[in-house]
Amino acid sequence: LLKFFNTPICNAVGIDIKGRDIVNHLGRSTPITSLFQKGVAMGTTMSITRHKSESSYRIYARPSNKQKEDALSLLINSVGTLPSNLQEQETLTKPFRQPLHNTAKANLPLHINATKRNPTLGGRRTIHKAPRKDNSYEDTSEKNISSAP
């Protein structure tokens, strides 16, 4: 039915439809692509076309060949601009995080949350990397062992 209406409209405005499948959906996708390529903000275009989600908008927001060429040109031109002095080179290769140092000490806690609340003993116990007698949850010291009645 829509194709029936599109034919006279296209003829009236001078669009050649011979050998082309002109459908109503093109009335939505073409303007979105055109506005995207002209740099119109996504929110503005979504408001005009009444798109509710960015994901459905992005289906139609296709870059032009010129935009693709410009993006590739930026990448190609940046290849030859590596740092020339030693200090800039070190900042490029410096790791974001430093590895742990001196972790061979047995009494270092595993992490900042390595203490656990033990309500039966009424206190905290530090959990150590190396197994130790005092890592158990039971207090086996002589002062806390009561003789049975």
Q: What is the pLDDT along the chain (149 residues), one digit of tens a residue?
A: 445 556 776 777 777 778 877 666 666 777 788 888 888 898 998 888 888 888 888 888 888 899 899 889 888 887 766 556 555 555 555 555 555 555 555 555 555 445 555 555 555 555 555 555 555 544 444 444 444 44
pTM: 0.36
- Final residue belonging to a domain, choices 48, 66, 84: 66
- Assess if residue 82 is contained within a domain: no
- Assess if residue 85 is contained within a domain: no
Split into its structural domains, the chain has a count of: 2
Which structural domain, as residue segments, surrounds residue 129?
106-136
DSSP 48-67: HHT---HHHHHHH-PPPHHH
- Final residue belonging to a domain, choices 41, 66, 91: 66
